Amino acid sequence: MWNNITACSLWRLSPSFMSSRIQILTPLFIRNYKDFCKDRQTIWTLQNSLCQVMKKTVPTLKCNMFPHCFASNKARYGQYTKTFPVLDGSIPSVCEHVFEENLRNSEACIQRYSELLCKVSKGGGENAILRHTQRNKKLLVRERLKMLLDDETFLELSPFAGFDLPYGNVPAAGCLTGIGKICGVWCVFMANDATVKGGTIYPISVKKQLRAQHIAIQNRLLSVYLVDSGGAFLPLQAELFPDQSHGGRVFYNEAIMSAMKIPQVAVVCGSCTAGGAYLPTMAEETVIVDKIGSMFLAGPPLVKAATGEDISPEDLGGASMHSKVSGCVDHFASSEKEAFECVRNIILTLNYELPPEETLEYDDPLYSAEELLGLAPRGYNYTLHIKLILSRLIDGSRFQEFKAEYGTTLVTGFAHMEGHLVGIVANNGELTHDASLKGSHFVQLCSQRSIPLLFLQNTAPHASEPTSLSQAEDHTNRLKAQASMMAAVACAAVPKITLVIGGCYGNESYAMCGRSFDPNFLFLWPNARVALVDSRHISTFPQAGDDDCTGDDSGLKYLKEKLDEESSAFHSSARLWDDGIILPQNSRKVIAQCLTIMKQQKYQIASRQQYPVIRM
Ligand code: COA
């Protein structure tokens, strides 16, 4: 409405009046209207329509006048933020022993992290790699990504998914997912690793693909599928076929994403059998690689068994057949390299209008990120003040704290991460009644101002039991306040990132935007522990019908061991309860990257749901 009123009133002014007054009016107007507008998209729309009006009214006026005016305002605005107070991040000498203990624990966790990463990077092992490259003449999945993406610095998601599961070890769940840039556009990719059991789909592979699609939907990112898969892993068919969030959901999502104007491009760069054949056929545009790409509902062995006929994969469902006869694909490529070039060309036809690349100016934190290893708590009792961590993550260690003196077991405030403004909600003790109310208020504030939220989670390992009536009353009040915070977090209409820096325990973790509260991204530090309660804090094992719960020693021991094993960050990441483990010293970079990625959706085409692109 403001847009229309402004444009109309400007139209009524005569050109001579406009040209004489425009220089005076513009800065004044911009200042008022900047106060008025909350989001930059509105500013841009208004700016454009004003430019159009002025172009017609004052032909001599240069249309870049407004961008210039905004740019200078923005620069000045940016300078003001440098006045946020600087945090004191020096580690008190009384805390040195805790720091040392944490450091030792972090080093052990990082050692495990590195060993696992090394294992995962080998995919299905040496023999499978030889079969893939020598016999089947295919590129390895990471080589494919290198050719497809603008550069190698992509954000890989959940590389430890599939590690040590009850049904075996499935390196990276047999499928690499992540976010990288193609032709300057951030894209989600899903690429089968056919060295892992022919790229067949395990239950964890389905979960990983669904998560990648969810990220694409939530952040409105175009998706690229590199398909090289023998379809369902048959021995586990019951765990990946029939249910709502099993295999078919991937195809359902493809249609829904297309209807939401989230484009999807596929490359058939290997065998795509059965379920594997639907994925590329349902994509909006598909490329197939000659000689190595094939698609069929049942392969040559099944044809032989059913009809006695001998047929080659090429004749049954090769590149020529699908591009010339069936129409299941749209582009024929004579090599993998050509196929990835074709994908890049397709992306150039998506009609994206991205703003020029922003070069944000920012200061590094004043304290070393390496020291985060000594601040990553090995247990709740080894937690140091959260501001010591914050001062190593945020630009210039500058923090505009909100309600500094109230509910101090939760720290809330504004800061910048590589130039991006972010609202931070960080545990600094138990989520008390006051802390929860403060959290609710702050989350709503960020939602109101369209500022992304970053949750630094380190929740209490168990709920303390009330020992008096007044304490019980206190607990009830706390419950009510935590419920309010949960509602505020669930409904905050801004992107959210959760980083578990210590414990992710029990109900408090929901209010701190745990997985079920749908953060856009959730990462863990390697020292993180995820469980309903901390095994180190249980002293009794409740038995059925045992009124006083004195416990049974062997039961308690078993429960503690089980909890201990299931609490590790690696156990969580293997099951895709998160988007991956990141090293504390890389956190700032990863979070800033996520903030950049999440910003892209602001500039995309209208999101109104319509019809998907249907292959004819
Ligand atoms: N379920 C379970 N295991 C499968 C499988 C499936 N659908 N497809 C392949 N595998 C296994 C193979 O048994 C083999 O296991 P091994 O390494 O323990 O020997 C491994 O995956 C690799 O298969 P292989 O055929 O040697 O490799 P390849 O790269 O030359 O060929 C395929 C891969 C996928 C093209 C081929 O195995 C194939 O056509 N599989 C059948 C696909 C199918 O019919 N799917 C229907 C699913 S509903």
The pLDDT of 586-596, averaged and rounded, is 97
Q: pLDDT value at position 48? A: 45
Taking CA atoms only, the protein residue closest to ligand 1 atom 42 is 230
Taking CA atoms only, the protein residue closest to ligand 1 atom 2 is 233
Q: pLDDT value at position 475? A: 87
Percent of the chain exceeding pLDDT 90 equals 71
Residue 188, classed as helix, strand or coil, is strand
The pLDDT of 20-25, averaged and rounded, is 36
Taking CA atoms only, the protein residue closest to ligand 1 atom 41 is 230
Whether the per-residue pLDDT at 47 is higher than 50: the answer is no
Confidence of residue 536 (pLDDT cuts 50, 70, 90): confident
Q: pLDDT value at position 354? A: 76
Higher pLDDT pick, 258 / 357: 258
Residue 241 Cα to ligand 1 midpoint, Å, equals: 17
Least confident of 67-76, 189-198, 203-212, 475-484: 67-76
Q: pLDDT value at position 65? A: 32
88: DSSP letter = -
| Closest C-alpha among 486, 498, 389, 475 to residue 436 | 486
- What are the φ/ψ torsions at residue 605 (nearest 5 degrees)? -65, 160
220: DSSP letter = T
Chain mean pLDDT for the chain: 86
Question: How many CA atoms lie within 13 Å of 224's alpha carbon, on the beta-carbon side?
Answer: 30
The beta-carbon contacts of 602-610 under 8 Å, at least 24 apart in sequence, are 602/40, 602/41, 603/352, 603/353, 603/354, 603/355, 604/220, 604/261, 604/352, 605/261, 605/351, 605/352, 605/353, 606/261, 607/220, 607/260, 607/261, 608/261, 609/259, 609/260, 610/259, 610/261
The pLDDT of 356-366, averaged and rounded, is 86
β-strands 453-457, 294-296: how paired? unpaired
The pLDDT of 544-554, averaged and rounded, is 58
Could you tell which of 273, 297, 303, 316 is best to mutate to test the pocket of ligand 1, judged by most ligand atoms within 8 Å of the CB? Answer: 273
| Closest C-alpha among 224, 177, 226 to residue 205 | 177
Residue 195 Cα to ligand 1 midpoint, Å, equals: 10
Residue 485's alpha-carbon distances to 97, 438, 454, 480, 590, in angstroms, are 35, 9, 15, 9, 26
Q: pLDDT value at position 408? A: 98
Whether the per-residue pLDDT at 321 is higher than 70: the answer is yes
Residue 273 Cα to ligand 1 midpoint, Å, equals: 10
Write the pLDDT tens digit of every residue in 104-129: 999 999 999 999 999 999 999 999 99
Tell me the pTM.
0.86
Could you tell which of 197, 237, 246 is best to mutate to test the pocket of ligand 1, judged by most ligand atoms within 8 Å of the CB? Answer: 197
Higher pLDDT pick, 380 / 44: 380
As for ligand 1, residues whose beta carbon falls within 6 Å of it are 131, 136, 194, 197-198, 200, 230-234, 271, 273-275, 299
Write the pLDDT tens digit of every residue in 32-43: 333 333 443 443
Q: pLDDT value at position 547? A: 52
* Amino acid letter, 404: A
Confidence of residue 78 (pLDDT cuts 50, 70, 90): low
Question: In sequence order, what are the residues at sequence separation of 6 or more whose Cβ sits closer than 8 angstroms to the Cβ of residue 56?
Answer: none
Whether the per-residue pLDDT at 45 is higher than 70: the answer is no
Taking CA atoms only, the protein residue closest to ligand 1 atom 25 is 198
Percent of the chain exceeding pLDDT 70 equals 83
Q: pLDDT value at position 616? A: 73
Write out the two tokens for 126.
Answer: 């040496």
Q: pLDDT value at position 178? A: 98
Question: In sequence order, what are the residues at sequence separation of 6 or more whose Cβ sits closer than 8 angstroms to the Cβ of residue 300?
Answer: 310, 311, 312, 313, 316
Confidence of residue 542 (pLDDT cuts 50, 70, 90): low
Higher pLDDT pick, 550 / 143: 143
Residue 614 Cα to ligand 1 midpoint, Å, equals: 30
Q: pLDDT value at position 606? A: 52
* Amino acid letter, 71: A
The pLDDT of 454-461, averaged and rounded, is 95
Confidence of residue 469 (pLDDT cuts 50, 70, 90): confident
Q: pLDDT value at position 330? A: 98
Whether the per-residue pLDDT at 551 is higher than 60: the answer is no
In ligand 1, which atom is closest to the CA atom of 194? 29
The pLDDT of 132-161, averaged and rounded, is 96
Q: pLDDT value at position 541? A: 59
Q: pLDDT value at position 603? A: 66
Write the pLDDT tens digit of every residue in 606-616: 555 678 888 77
Q: pLDDT value at position 46? A: 42
Tokens 């022993």 sit at which residue?
97
